[in-house]
Structures are given as C-alpha cells and as structure tokens.
Amino acid sequence: MDRRLNRDYRARLAIIRVALGLLLCAVGAPIAAGAAETIYIVKRGDSVYSIGRRYGVSPAVLAERNGLNRNFYISAGQRLRIPARRVAPAKKPAAKPPPPSVLPRAVREAIDKAPVRAGRWKSIVIHHSGTDTGTARTMDRYHREVRRMENGLAYHFVIGNGNGMGDGAIAIGQRWTRQLDGGHLASAAQNKTAIGICLVGNFDKRPPSPKAMTSLRLLVEALMTRCRLTPTAVKTHQQVNVRHTRCPGARFPTQSFLKSLPTPKR
C-alpha cells in the first residue's frame, strides 16, 4: 500500500515538473538589458496589453518606448523594450501587531536604572499578600508601623489585583530603587540576596488573574536579565521557607509558571 502511494506520488510529481517546464517555456523570453530595461521577445498571442500587465507597465508607455503605431500592433518575434517598472513609493511597513504585552516604561526604567551590583541578587522570590485587597502603600504602612521595619515595604515589587491597585499594575518599592535587602523571608541571610515580589490576593482562595500573571512573568524575566539570574533562581516563598509558609497559596500555578521562564541564551 505504502509503495503504491509512493509510486503515485512520484508520478504526480513528474507530471507537475513537466507542466512547470512547459509553463516556463510558454512565458515570453525576457532578456535583461541593463538595470532599467528588459528586452522581451513577443510570442504569438501576446498583446501590448498582456505584456504590459505582466510587467506592470502601461500599454501607452510600452508603445511610446518601442515606437509602436496607434493600434499598438506587435508581431511574434519582435523585440520589445520594457522599461523598469516605476518603483512605487515604499509602503509604510504594516504596523506590527503590538507584542502581546510589555512592561510599562516606568518599570522598565526603574529596573535598568537601579544601581545593581554584580552578584547582588541570587534569587527572586514570589509571595502573595494573603489578602483580597491591597496596595504597595498599605503594605508599606503595615510593615513600618506594625512590623516595625524601618525600610517599610518588605518587598521590592508589588503587583496589584484590581482591588486597591490596578489588575496587573506593578509598584516599585524603595528596596529596589535603593537596592536594599528584602524583608520578606525568614532570615536576614536570606533577605540579603533575595528580591521579593508580592502579588496582591489570596491564592489559597482563588488563583491570580491572568493580568497579574503576565505582569509577574514580564517582571521576573526583566529582573532575571538585569541581575543575570537563571530560572532556577526563581522560587516561591514556600520553596524557600518550606516549613514556615504556604505562600503564595495553593492555587498559585508554581510549576507552570517556573517552567515557562526562558533559559538565558549563552
């Protein structure tokens, strides 16, 4: 069965090849004549109109260039000069569809401008707020006033969920802009080298929104590039402090998110 199919297929290919050959022969024989002009040898059945159409040149221009009479009479074997087609003004390239999403410029700049020392950061750790609503400002106040952290907001970045901050909005904490240690992990040693990102929401109750996940991915990728980190450096809070916490919640898509991170090009 296979062999027969194969034979049929080859026979069909051969027919196509012959047909293509005939087609090529049938086309008049253009001869390049300098960059500007082509010489075309008229075939039986050609008209100034058909040749003009083929080369994108108006019949009047062809007639004038070749001194044809008013009837545009041509005969087989005649050599026609075909002027180069006037180059149409370059069309504006079709507007590229915007990339699916990009980091807001302010975030991009904050990541680039921060004075990141080589080797300063060893990991990026993802948290949830465990609350339904929240903003970088309310968290900052809480960390300052209740948790008595002098540098306030314990995270370097906060991503909103539409309740307080915009859904997927990214707030930049001063711990990032000033390159301060985090305050989001169990020990000072861990906080020294870990960038903290907190997503507003309680992901034990419901998973993060698609917009928040997109922002998280873009942010993490930009930070990986900026700090020369590989995907293995990206962890959830739970993966770092296994016994202390379930953060960022059972419904945070840890595996799929971590797997989706690009391995850096070497």
Residues in the site for Zn ion, rule: CB under 5 A? 127, 237, 247
For the beta carbon of residue 106, count every other beta carbon within 10 angstroms.
Answer: 10
Q: How far is the CB of 136 from Zn ion (least distance, A)?
A: 15
Q: How far apart, in whole angstroms, are the C-alpha atoms of residue 262 and residue 244?
A: 29
Helices (H), the chain: 2-26, 48-55, 59-66, 105-113, 136-141, 174-177, 188-193, 210-227, 237-240, 254-260
Between 28 and 152, name the residue whose CB sits nearer to Zn ion: 152
Q: How far is the CB of 182 from Zn ion (least distance, A)?
A: 11
Between 168 and 182, name the residue whose CB sits nearer to Zn ion: 182
Q: How far is the CB of 223 from Zn ion (least distance, A)?
A: 17
Q: How far is the CB of 244 from Zn ion (least distance, A)?
A: 9
First CA to last CA distance, the chain: 48
Q: How far is the CB of 119 from Zn ion (least distance, A)?
A: 24
Q: Which residue carries 């027919």 as its tokens?
A: 15
Q: How far apart, in whole angstroms, are the C-alpha atoms of residue 48 and residue 45?
A: 10
Strands of the sheet with 234-236, listed across from one edge: 170-172, 157-159, 194-199, 123-128, 234-236
Between 53 and 192, name the residue whose CB sits nearer to Zn ion: 192
Between 42 and 170, name the residue whose CB sits nearer to Zn ion: 170
The number of angstroms, rounded, from the C-alpha of 136 to the middle of its chain's C-alpha atoms is: 29
